Each structure stands twice: as C-alpha cells, then as structure tokens.
Amino acid sequence: MGRVRVGINGYGTIGKRVAWAVMKQPDMELVGVVKTRPSWEALSATARGIRLYVPEGKEELFENAGIKVAGTLQDLLQSIDVVVDATPAGVGATYAGRYREAGIKAVFQGGEKESVAGVSFNALYTYETALGKASVRVVSCNTTGILRVLYAFRRAGNVRSVRVTIVRRGADLKEVKKGPIEGLLLKPAKPPSHHADDVRSVAGHDLDIITYSIVAPTTLAHMHVMFVKFNGSVSREDVIRALEETPRIVLLRADLASSTAEVRELARDLGRCGDIYEVIVWPESLWVRGDEAGIAYMVHQEAIVVPENIDAIRAVTGIVSNGTQSIRLTDKALSIGRWLP
C-alpha cells in the first residue's frame, strides 16, 4: 500500500494541527483541507502551501478575497482515502452521509455523538477495535487527558473508582467572542459532566467515574485533579513508574514549572509553537495512601488530540495493524515523548 491520502474537513483549532501533523508522517499524504469561509485561517493554509477546497458554489467568494482555491469539497472527497472531520461539534454528523457515499473512511472529533462514528477512539485503548472500521470519533481533549492518566493508574493497580475535578479553559486564544473574562462557572451544574460518559465509551462502560467541571477565565490549558480508589493498595513507586511508561504522558517537576502558563511558554522555548501533545503530570502532586491516590495534571486543549487523530487515520485505513506501532510512528514524527530531563 502506498501513502494514505488524507483530507481534512475544517481548518480550525484541531483541523489545522492535524493537517500539519499529517504532513510530517512518512506514510501519509495531505491532499488538502476544506474551509467554508475566507478567514485568516484560510489564508494561513494557502500560505503554508496547503491546497484549499471549498463547498460547491463558494469558489468566487474565496477568489475575491484573494485566496487561491484548489477545488470543491466533492473534488477532495474523490481524491482521498480518509477524511478527518474537524468541523464544529455536531456539524460532523451532517457530513457523515457524504463521506459514506464517497466510499472513504472518516475520523470524527469528540463533539460528535458516539452513534455518528460507531467507535470511540483513544490509541491506548481502542486502536484494535477501530481497525478497518468505516469511522471512529477521537474523544475530546479533557477525556483524552483523563484516559491517559487512568491508563497509568490501571497499570499500577486495580482501579475501583475515579473522581475528577476539571478546571477548563474558558476559550481558545482565537475565540474572541467567548468568555468568561472574569469569574468561575460551574458547567454543567449537575454532575457528571459529559467527560464521565466519554471516558466510559473508551475505557469500559462499567468504570465508576464521576466528573465535575468548572470553567475558568484562561486560554492556555485545562487542569485536572483526579482522585482514584483501588481494590487493594498501591505504592507511590508503582504509580510513578506506570506514568513514566505510559505514552504521551510527560512528568514535569513542579519546582521547575507548576502553572499552565510556564509550561506553555516552556513548549514555545523548545520550538513547539506552544503545542503540547502530552499530558503534563506533576509528580509532586501525586498523593498515595493505601488504596487511594490523588494527582494533578495539565491538558493542552488545542493539541492533545492531534496524535490520536493520526493514529485513528492508521486504524481506520488499516495501514498499521497494531496500536503500539502506530503510537511509535506518530510520536517519532511529532517528536512526542520525554522532551524534558
């Protein structure tokens, strides 16, 4: 099999990052991306040499704005093996029929219901389930963060219950109309937040998990506090080792940086444009006593699902049959791993 031909529907926060990541994979070719409005992001795509496809009838709108168009959405769908749907939450469902008709595989995002895609995807849990399926959905950023840390805890012991408090960023940097600018918002007011169901859709429907979610006035990242109860006791060393051995988790000493702001700037300093694909876990925050543990970590909402999308492409197209191998390929291409001493 040659390189997988990939198209991205949507070039927003997630879509553009997945596009850039696809361009770095040895076994993938980015055919183009779709944008519905001639925005600064459309301009940024063409400026990077990415072919831009637009909905039928919108060609003139883009050309008038001085943005070069390579073809229509239909043109793109006919020249690819797989589409990554990075349209706004709920919009992906309205495209599902077109993807099916075009006979291509589809990778949706966590904003779509599980019923739209069939399989909820996280590379550590459901790669093999997703193999060759017509479509999957990559669960959202907070859910992905919880899943990775939970994976480590499950390596360390027999997890009985999980209680998470999620402090969510209010908006991404570019979302200039969203808030809050000030205040903390309990959302939803009635627990659990959707993350509990989403985690179960990947990690198993019998998992005992409750999540609360508080929205804070920040754009940089989410922060979680997770309490875990085990059947039987665990040791601090086992948990630390499991965290170290879990892909896409980075342990960062809190005495070096203990805020989302410092960690994002650290990632800028290290040439990542601030994008952090890994869950950042502070080892000092790990509290272990008997059959119980607590931990705090950070999730960069714009970037964390990007490697999961890349793995999802490999899973649905079947070009790599093994999750561990796909993770290794992705992480090498994106320099993911233990980038801190």
What is the set of active-site residues?
141
- DSSP for 58-121, please give it: -HHHHHHTT----EEHHHHHTT-SEEEE-SSTTTHHHHHHHHHHTT-EEEEETTS-HHHHSSEE
Residue nearer to a copy of itself on the CB measure, 17 or 224: 224
Task: State the nearest-atom distance from the C-beta of 228 to a copy of itself, in Å.
Answer: 11
- Could you tell me if 73 and 94 are in contact, meaning their C-beta atoms sit under 8 angstroms apart? no
Task: State the nearest-atom distance from the C-beta of 221 to a copy of itself, in Å.
Answer: 7
Alpha-carbon gap, residue 154 to 94, rounded angstroms? 37
Query: Measured between alpha carbons, how far apart are the two ends of the chain, in Å?
Result: 38
Within 10 angstroms of residue 176's Cβ, the number of other Cβ atoms is 7
Within 10 angstroms of residue 132's Cβ, the number of other Cβ atoms is 10
Residues in touch with a copy of itself (CB under 8 A):
163, 165, 167, 180, 182-187, 189-192, 210, 212, 214-223, 225, 227, 254-255, 258-262, 264, 282, 284-285, 287, 294, 296, 298
- Give residues with Cβ within 8 angstroms of 162, minimum separation 6: 146, 150, 153, 199, 207, 208, 209, 210, 226, 227, 228, 229
Residue nearer to a copy of itself on the CB measure, 217 or 318: 217
- Could you tell me if 19 and 50 are in contact, meaning their C-beta atoms sit under 8 angstroms apart? yes
Residue nearer to a copy of itself on the CB measure, 129 or 259: 259
Task: State the nearest-atom distance from the C-beta of 288 to a copy of itself, in Å.
Answer: 11
Query: What single-letter amino acid sits at 32?
Result: G
Task: State the nearest-atom distance from the C-beta of 339 to a copy of itself, in Å.
Answer: 20
Q: SS3 for 22?
A: helix
Task: State the nearest-atom distance from the C-beta of 292 to a copy of itself, in Å.
Answer: 8
- Give residues with Cβ within 8 angstroms of 87, minimum separation 6: 9, 10, 15, 95
The 3 state secondary structure assigned to 285-313 is HCEEECCEEEEEEEECCCCCCHHHHHHHH
Task: State the nearest-atom distance from the C-beta of 327 to a copy of itself, in Å.
Answer: 27
The crossing angle, in degrees rounded to 10, of helices 141-156 and 194-203 is 50
- Could you tell me if 41 and 65 are in contact, meaning their C-beta atoms sit under 8 angstroms apart? no
Residue nearer to a copy of itself on the CB measure, 260 or 330: 260
Within 10 angstroms of residue 13's Cβ, the number of other Cβ atoms is 18
With vertex at residue 173, the alpha carbon angle to CA 172 and CA 174, rounded to the nearest 5 degrees, is: 95
Residue nearer to a copy of itself on the CB measure, 100 or 174: 174
Task: State the nearest-atom distance from the C-beta of 200 to a copy of itself, in Å.
Answer: 15
Residue nearer to a copy of itself on the CB measure, 43 or 214: 214
